[in-house]
């Protein structure tokens, strides 16, 4: 049975979501998963893949910006995003020790998908691969994730509703000492007489219970049962997608606003946390810059009017994290033995917001 999402529990979120309330509300954005669960092998991990657009044959750049709130983590390809303002190919997210496998798998997928381009050009692949640590619920040192799993997640990518909680890379993740993992949300925004969509996907693996604040309520203090940490030892990856035409500079600013949404949950971004955010725009479809001639023409929204997108990014990030937590179910830890990481009590959570408009 599908668990209710946070809105279904009566949590009074601001803003207008898209029809799926997911990153896939942004036209053309696809999400896929490869989920790996085998208690006999202490395996609870997987891969999440995001395809910004279903290009084939010849890659098309996706304009992007990146921001790191706290750097105890990894997201590959970001140096080039800072310098060039774009990336090509998929985004893959998994556990800390899977970075190499994901990078190889995503590279192989790109070489196959863009085969004519690689055959004709001195082409190179620099996929975006990110991670958070799942060593409490998964034997991370067993290196369960392989390049084939990365390709399976990419090939699974589709539009429509997005599964949450213990799916894909979120399978072994914990947030605020509740079972969490993958979460998503979206917002619809009107700017300059046009309607745009912004969507967020998070891999939530951060925070301490006593910090947890949901829509202004001290939920962690009101629901302390099952807390087990003395310090934060997690991370969060946030991917923001939009069809609004933004410059790489504006997209970097948009990625920063994920920090506002994460902070609404109560975390100060601890020293051991990797809080790494990426924003991209599917607008301005065009060829690779080296194939575009001397001029690259982009339509860009004026930064003076995009504050509603900043707000949408904060709101959708906050909701995506809560959706990840609400989707979680209690799981036994691999290390330490005997620990049960609890799923949040959805009935109790709903009661905290009962009769609130």
Q: Which residues are catalytic?
A: 235, 273, 275
Q: Which residues contact 77 (CB under 8 A, 6 or more apart)?
A: 87, 126, 127, 128, 129
């Amino acid at each position: 049975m599908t668990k209710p999402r946070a809105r279904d529990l009566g949590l009074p979120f601001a803003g207008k979501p898209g029809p799926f309330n997911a990153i896939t509300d942004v036209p053309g954005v696809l999400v896929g998963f490869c989920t790996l669960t085998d208690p006999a092998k202490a395996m609870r991990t997987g891969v999440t893949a995001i395809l910004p657009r279903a290009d084939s044959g010849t890659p098309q750049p996706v304009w992007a910006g990146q921001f790191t709130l706290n750097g105890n983590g990894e997201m590959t390809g970001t140096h080039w995003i800072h310098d060039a303002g774009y990336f090509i190919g998929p985004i893959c997210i998994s556990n800390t020790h899977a970075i190499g496998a994901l990078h190889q798998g995503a590279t192989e997928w790109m070489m196959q998908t863009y085969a004519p381009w690689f055959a004709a050009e001195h082409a190179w692949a620099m996929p975006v691969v990110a991670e958070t640590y799942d060593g409490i619920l998964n034997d991370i040192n067993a290196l369960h994730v392989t390049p084939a799993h990365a390709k399976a997640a990419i090939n699974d990518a589709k539009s429509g509703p997005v599964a949450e909680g213990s799916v894909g890379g979120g399978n072994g993740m914990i947030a605020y000492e509740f079972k969490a993992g993958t979460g998503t949300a979206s917002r619809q925004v009107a700017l300059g007489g046009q309607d745009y969509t912004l969507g967020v996907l998070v891999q939530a693996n951060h925070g301490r219970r006593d910090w947890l604040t949901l829509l202004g309520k001290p939920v962690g203090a009101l629901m302390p049962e099952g807390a087990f940490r003395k310090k934060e030892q997690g991370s969060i990856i946030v991917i923001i997608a939009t069809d609004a035409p933004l410059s790489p500079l504006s997209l970097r600013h948009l990625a920063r606003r994920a920090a506002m949404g994460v902070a609404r949950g109560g975390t100060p971004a601890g020293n051991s946390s990797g809080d790494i955010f990426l924003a991209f725009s599917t607008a301005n479809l065009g060829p690779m810059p080296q194939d575009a001639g001397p001029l690259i023409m982009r339509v860009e929204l004026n930064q003076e009017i995009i504050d509603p997108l900043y707000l949408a990014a904060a709101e959708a990030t906050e909701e995506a994290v809560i959706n990840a937590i609400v989707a979680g179910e209690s799981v036994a830890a691999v290390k330490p033995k005997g620990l049960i990481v609890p799923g949040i009590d959805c009935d109790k959570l709903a009661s905290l917001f009962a009769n609130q408009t």
